[in-house]
Amino acid sequence: MPQSTITLHDKQFTPYLPARQITDAIRELGSRISQDYAGRQPLFVSVLNGSFMFTADLLKEVSVPCEVAFIRVGSYAGTSSTGEVKEIMGLLEDVQGRDLIIVEDIVDTGHTMRALLDLLSAKQPASLAVATLFLKPECLQHELELRYVGLSIPNDFIVGYGLDYDGLGRNYPDVYKAV
């Protein structure tokens, strides 16, 4: 049972999505990915820091042989996107000719995802797909093909399950929204 209200820095958050709903969405994504990649060995590229919990739980639901790598990018300051994407920690694996699946916690404006797709496409993978746990469709500012979307949500600021507010809140199993 989620806590009724949490306080992070100067903001109050109330329960929004219970862990069970998140688990169900991830199970469905894992099943779809396993079907789509049968007979293949995808490389999951997890976008740190936010997607670490999602990546771990998603890979538990994927039944095909796979690998995981991590990339760290930043575009947020406080509660809003700066609109400027900076690659902080690069991908060390050779991805040319590989089936890649970018694993992202949330896609809102799409700035980060657009930059990642451009960056990874230039490395000539065999295929490139996106798995995001959350999508804010009304915020999108780029046309993106998001093959695997766990949950579409309104434009609420959320924390929990890997998502944070200035570093806090990632550890909650449930998702909370700002009031």
Which residues participate in catalysis according to the annotation?
A: 108
Positive or negative, the CA dihedral 57, 149, 177, 141 is positive
Q: Token pair 């000539």 is at which residue?
A: 124
- How far apart CA 63 and CA 65 sit, in angstroms, is 7
Nearest by Cα to 57 from 34, 37, 33, 30: 30
Q: Going along the chain, which residue ranges are E strands?
A: 6-8, 11-17, 43-48, 67-77, 80-89, 99-107, 127-135, 148-152, 158-159, 175-178
